[in-house]
């Protein structure tokens, strides 16, 4: 009876809202609370906690080349924390032998061991590798929970029969970790919280059966709880050193002293309270393989085939409320390497009609080395789409409103990229500089074109609307004709002596023979040289 | 559609909304407004023929760009194959935000025509200004259709010689410099008469220069 109840209560609840990274919530519920919670006969869960004590060291070394690794192989290494004191966070066994301990300052460490090798901590790599390891651990169970910075929780109840018991599973897991050079402390227990505490308290692997759980938890030192330092200190002052001492205290008073959330942790560890954990999920991918009955020789035909498959992809995306931000296509040939086509999107989309247009442009530029035998479509990252409310269809101002819509901009930009190549369309901008060629900014158009809110000095003479990309040297004209032609000026621009692109110019507005107004300047360092720099159009 | 439905007096059809009468865009010059019938027709193709640059052709377009700013249509303005680069600082001085101006240079005539049509069809653009000396009559018609269907404003610059060939443009004008003034010969304004307008370009600069 109890068993059925437990299996009913333990299930995966999909989240109703769509988070950036899809995740499932595992509801872990213990036996119904009775008057004596310690008499739990059978635990519905088995949690394996994995603590990686040298994780920062492992992560810091993960990015190294093999040569760097061999150079470091027989040297003592310490990982430094990038804080004010620059203290040792953890170190290799060799460094431990030399007397280095975590918490030593940089100077103390150098004094103890002159050839100590220091590494900087890479927290981003730690997180990334932990996520990778969590996905790797899904070999053993679908429910893996990441406990940053260096712990993993695996719910292994359902996998025990497959792997032949807890011990076999632990052996397999530790062999896998050892082969990758990862040190781990492990503990198996009936609740997630207690397994986590247990693996912090021991170096050896511990398996705690359900009956023994309260007794084992009672013997845990308070340090294993990783509670705030001031709470631990306060409890130590009461003379409390173990969890068992804590359990003997009256609940009401304890809740006032340590807060309800910590008391809840205690209840969760003993299985008196449900424990909700978020399990990691492998990023969703999409793979499609089209085996052609006949070889295709033109890209136009390939486009027709792909259009059908893109419709399938669209259906797939709509069913799951997902979008793609990149599409990879590989055209496979008989005797040649596959032709890759990559379509990058400026904004995630599920609109395959648009992707089809981009694909058409990409395909029309593709040269086929040989007929196509097989086509593969792949999307490595499926992302949540950006959803917005549509306009009421009858609203006549709707067409005006969506002009500032980034989606339309993104589609336009992608189509330009697909046909013209990247960065051919430039967006204009200004920077504060006196030199006209520096003031003018032309950067590749993107979606981040924020409004330029620069104030133009009111006394600044009017600039021409046309600017020449490079000042054009004017053929010398005699001074009289020139003087007659100059309408306004001079405006002296002398700037840039600090960065090697110094200009020293006198700008004039001149009238050309054809009636147009020119923005010309005389180079003050070569007074005979006159340049055209812009046109007042 | 069912003919009885079509003949109902109180039923409005949604597709007729897209063909709502467009407001003209004031050109900033009273004379020109009168000749054009209130201003530039919005969502239309304007063809400007000139052989010279720097005679005031952009001054002519500035009121249009300012109109889009004032109407809070913060969409893009796309410049295709301009003879020179639009000066961002000058645009700012004229009260126009340069960040929403995209410029494509050195595009092949085919690509420029394609980009113009694409920009006009996209709801992201308010206006597309293109220098397309080699545009074909078919290309012009496509551009006009794109502009009309998406309610965007299209301006095409072509050489004076193109005046001899017919064009589907809504407004067609030649621009020439005439003693410090810009002379606009309106060859064609759909539904109106031909006429000539001259605009002072030089004095407008004088007014701003110290």
Asked if pLDDT for residue A31 goes beyond 50, the answer is: no
Asked if pLDDT for residue A20 goes beyond 60, the answer is: no
Q: Quick one: pLDDT at residue B159?
A: 92
Range of lowest pLDDT (A146-150, A364-368, B22-26, B91-95): B22-26
Contact between A322 and A384 under an 8 Å Cβ cutoff? The reply is yes
Interchain CB distance below 8 Å, A462 and B90: yes
* A25 contact partners, CB below 8 Å, separation of at least 6: A12, A13, A14, A15, A276, A277, A278, A279
How does residue A481 score in pLDDT terms, banded at 50, 70 and 90? low
Percent of chain A with pLDDT over 90: 5
How does residue A27 score in pLDDT terms, banded at 50, 70 and 90? very low
Asked if pLDDT for residue A202 goes beyond 60, the answer is: yes
DSSP assignments along A192-232, one per residue: HHHHHHHHHH-SS-EE--GGGHHHHHHTSBGGGG---HHHH
Both tokens of A226, joined, read 């990783």
User: Where are any strands of DSSP class E within A321-400?
Assistant: 323-333, 339-349, 372-379, 382-383
* Mean pLDDT value across residues A440-450: 73
Output the average pLDDT for chain B: 81
Q: Quick one: pLDDT at residue A39?
A: 44
Contact between B127 and B153 under an 8 Å Cβ cutoff? The reply is yes
CA angle A282, A288, A289 (to 5 degrees): 135
Q: Quick one: pLDDT at residue B14?
A: 58
How does residue B158 score in pLDDT terms, banded at 50, 70 and 90? very high
Query: What confidence tens digit (pLDDT) does each residue in A483-534 have?
Result: 657 777 788 888 888 877 888 888 888 877 777 778 888 888 887 788 888 8
Q: Is B196 exposed, middle or buried (0-12, 13-18, 19+ CB in 10 A)?
A: middle
Interchain CB distance below 8 Å, A442 and B57: no
Radius of gyration of chain B (CA): 18
Partner residue facing A536 (CB), from B103, B122, B205: B205
Range of lowest pLDDT (A21-35, A241-255, A434-448, B195-209): A21-35
Query: What confidence tens digit (pLDDT) does each residue in A106-162 have?
Result: 888 888 888 888 888 888 888 888 988 888 888 888 889 998 788 999 999 888 889
Q: Quick one: pLDDT at residue B89?
A: 87
How does residue A35 score in pLDDT terms, banded at 50, 70 and 90? very low
How does residue A458 score in pLDDT terms, banded at 50, 70 and 90? confident
CA distance B156 to chain A (A): 16
| Alpha helix (H) residue ranges in chain B | 3-6, 15-18, 30-36, 57-70, 88-93, 109-121, 137-150, 202-208
Range of lowest pLDDT (A49-58, A145-154, A277-286): A277-286
Output the average pLDDT for chain A: 80
CA angle A303, A308, A310 (to 5 degrees): 85
Interchain CB distance below 8 Å, B55 and A514: yes
Q: Quick one: pLDDT at residue A1?
A: 37
Q: Quick one: pLDDT at residue B79?
A: 93
Chain A residues in contact with B205 by the CB 8 A cut-off are 462, 509, 517, 536
* A184 contact partners, CB below 8 Å, separation of at least 6: A50, A51, A52, A53, A174, A177
| Nearest Cα residue in chain A from B206 | A488
Place of tokens 């639009």: B86
DSSP assignments along A511-525, one per residue: E-TTS-EEEEEEETT
CA distance A453 to chain B (A): 8
As a whole number of Å, the end-to-end CA separation of chain B is 65
Query: What confidence tens digit (pLDDT) does each residue in A369-422 have?
Result: 889 999 999 998 888 877 666 555 555 544 444 445 667 788 888 888 888 887
Q: Quick one: pLDDT at residue A8?
A: 35
* Mean pLDDT value across residues B66-70: 83
CA distance B105 to B85: 9
Query: What confidence tens digit (pLDDT) does each residue in B35-55 have?
Result: 888 888 888 899 999 988 888
Asked if pLDDT for residue B7 goes beyond 80, the answer is: no
Chain B residues in contact with A399 by the CB 8 A cut-off are 18, 123, 150-151
Q: Quick one: pLDDT at residue A10?
A: 35
Interchain CB distance below 8 Å, B124 and A462: no
Partner residue facing A465 (CB), from B86, B114, B208: B86
How does residue A34 score in pLDDT terms, banded at 50, 70 and 90? very low
Interchain CB distance below 8 Å, A416 and B86: no
Asked if pLDDT for residue A312 goes beyond 60, the answer is: yes
The residue count for chain B: 210
Contact between A295 and A381 under an 8 Å Cβ cutoff? The reply is no
Percent of chain B with pLDDT over 90: 20
Best to test chain A binding among B69, B81, B88 (most A CBs inside 10 Å) = B88
Contact between A416 and B128 under an 8 Å Cβ cutoff? The reply is no
Contact between A422 and A444 under an 8 Å Cβ cutoff? The reply is yes
ipTM surpassing 0.90: no
Range of lowest pLDDT (A82-86, A92-96, A505-509, B139-143): A82-86
| Nearest Cα residue in chain A from B82 | A466
CA distance B63 to chain A (A): 14
């Amino acid at each position: 009876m109890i068993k059925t109840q437990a299996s009913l209560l333990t299930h995966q609840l999909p989240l109703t809202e769509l988070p950036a990274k899809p995740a499932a919530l595992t509801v872990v519920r213990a036996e119904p609370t009775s008057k004596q919670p310690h008499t739990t006969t059978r635990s519905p869960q088995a949690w394996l906690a994995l603590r990686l004590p040298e994780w920062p060291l492992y992560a810091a070394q993960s990015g190294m080349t093999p040569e760097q690794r061999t150079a470091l192989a027989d040297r003592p290494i310490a990982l430094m924390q990038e804080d004010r004191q620059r203290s040792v966070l953890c170190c290799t066994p060799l460094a431990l032998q030399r007397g280095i301990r975590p918490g030593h300052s940089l100077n103390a460490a150098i004094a103890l061991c002159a050839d100590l090798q220091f590494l900087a901590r890479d927290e981003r790599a730690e997180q990334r590798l932990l996520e990778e390891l969590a996905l790797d651990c899904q070999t053993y169970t679908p429910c893996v929970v990441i406990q940053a910075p260096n712990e993993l929780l695996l719910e292994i109840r359902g996998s025990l029969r497959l792997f032949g018991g807890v011990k076999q599973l632990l052996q397999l897991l530790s062999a896998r970790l050892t082969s990758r050079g990862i040190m781990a402390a492990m503990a198996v227990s009936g609740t997630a919280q207690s397994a986590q505490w247990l693996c912090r308290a021991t170096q050896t692997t511990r398996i705690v059966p359900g009956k023994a759980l309260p007794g084992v938890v009672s013997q845990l030192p308070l340090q294993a709880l990783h509670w705030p330092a001031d709470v631990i200190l306060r409890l130590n002052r009461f003379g409390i050193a173990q969890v068992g001492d804590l359990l003997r205290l009256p609940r009401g008073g304890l809740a006032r002293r340590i807060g309800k959330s910590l008391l809840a942790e205690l209840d969760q560890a003993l299985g008196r309270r449900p424990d909700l954990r978020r399990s990691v999920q492998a990023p969703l991918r999409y793979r499609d393989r089209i085996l052609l009955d006949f070889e295709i020789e033109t890209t136009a035909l390939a486009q027709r085939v792909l259009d059908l498959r893109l419709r399938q992809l669209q259906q797939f995306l709509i069913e799951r409320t997902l979008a793609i931000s990149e599409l990879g296509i590989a055209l496979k040939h008989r005797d040649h390497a596959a032709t890759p086509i990559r379509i990058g999107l400026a904004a995630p989309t599920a609109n395959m009609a648009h992707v089809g247009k981009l694909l058409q442009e990409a395909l029309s530029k593709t040269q086929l080395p040989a007929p196509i035998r097989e086509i593969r479509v792949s999307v490595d990252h499926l992302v949540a789409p950006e959803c917005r409310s549509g306009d009421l269809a009858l609203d006549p101002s709707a067409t005006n409103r969506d002009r500032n819509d980034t989606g339309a901009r993104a589609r336009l930009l992608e189509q330009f990229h697909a046909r013209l190549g990247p960065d051919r369309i430039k967006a204009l901008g200004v920077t504060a500089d006196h030199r006209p060629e520096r003031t003018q900014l032309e950067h590749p158009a993107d979606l981040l074109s924020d409004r330029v809110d620069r104030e133009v000095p009111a006394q600044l003479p009017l600039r021409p609307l046309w600017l020449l990309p490079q000042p054009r040297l004017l053929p010398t004209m005699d001074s009289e004709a020139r003087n007659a032609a100059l309408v306004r000026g001079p405006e002296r621009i002398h700037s840039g002596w600090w960065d090697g692109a110094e200009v020293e110019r006198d700008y004039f507005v001149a009238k050309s023979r054809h009636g147009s107004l020119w923005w010309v300047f005389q180079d003050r360092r070569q007074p005979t040289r006159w340049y055209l720099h812009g046109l007042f159009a | 559609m069912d003919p009885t439905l079509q003949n109902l007096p109180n039923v409005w059809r949604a597709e007729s909304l897209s063909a709502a009468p467009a407001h003209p865009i004031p050109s900033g010059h009273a004379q020109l407004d009168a000749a054009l019938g209130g201003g530039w027709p919005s969502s239309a193709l304007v063809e400007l023929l000139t052989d010279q640059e720097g005679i005031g052709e952009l001054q002519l377009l500035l009121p249009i760009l300012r109109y889009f700013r004032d109407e809070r249509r913060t969409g893009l303005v796309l410049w295709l194959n301009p003879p020179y680069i639009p000066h961002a600082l000058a645009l700012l001085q004229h009260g126009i935000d340069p960040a929403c101006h995209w410029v494509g240079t050195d595009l092949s005539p085919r690509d420029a025509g394609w980009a113009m049509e694409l920009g006009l069809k996209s709801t992201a653009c308010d206006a597309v200004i293109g220098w397309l000396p080699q545009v074909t009559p078919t290309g012009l018609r496509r551009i006009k259709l794109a502009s009309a269907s998406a309610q965007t404003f299209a301006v095409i610059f072509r050489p004076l010689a193109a005046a001899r060939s017919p064009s589907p443009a809504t407004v067609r004008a030649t621009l020439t410099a005439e003693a410090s003034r810009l002379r606009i010969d309106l060859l064609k304004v759909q539904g109106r008469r031909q006429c000539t307008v001259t605009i002072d370009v030089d004095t407008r600069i004088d007014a701003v220069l110290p």
